[in-house]
Amino acid sequence: QVQLVESGGGLVQAGDSLRLSCAASGRTFSSDDIGWFRQAPGKEREFVAGINWSGATTADAASVKGRATISKDNAKNTVYLQMNSLKPEDTAIYFCAAGTLGYNGVFYPTYWGQGTQVTVSS
């Protein structure tokens, strides 16, 4: 079984930075890819960034390009999402997921965490 627990969210001002963490337990962390998604009130859940099992390949969405960096620490079983220059439109619940990052940059989720709230004030 796999468990994914997000942390690091909070209330920040526009222009600030946050680093979100996704701590994983179970055998899937070393064999599965990890993706970050977000969902704002009244909006569909959207892909933010993904990283493959080894950490060598990453992908990100156009909405966060240049502002988001995804990374992985296998020793800690943790995937990070560093977000800089935060905007009010980044406000959402951020979820991490285990699944598959395709070679075309499309992420296919299988297991979800519970989410962490990010609120960016103007």
pLDDT tens, 7-16? 999 999 999 9
Which pLDDT score is estimated for 75? 87
Mean pLDDT, rounded, for 13-36: 88
Distance CA 30, CA 48 (A): 21
Kind of pairing, strands 58-60 and 46-51?
antiparallel
And the tokens for 110? 């299988």
pLDDT in tens, 34-79: 999 999 999 999 999 999 988 999 999 999 999 999 999 988 989 9
Kind of pairing, strands 116-121 and 92-101?
antiparallel
Q: Residue 32: pLDDT above 90?
A: no
Angle at 35 between CA 112 and CA 117, to 5 degrees: 65
Amino acid making up residue 87: K
And the tokens for 117? 């709230």
Distance CA 66, CA 63 (A): 9
Mean pLDDT, rounded, for 16-28: 89
Which pLDDT score is estimated for 25? 87
Distance CA 85, CA 61 (A): 15
Q: Residue 29: pLDDT above 70?
A: no
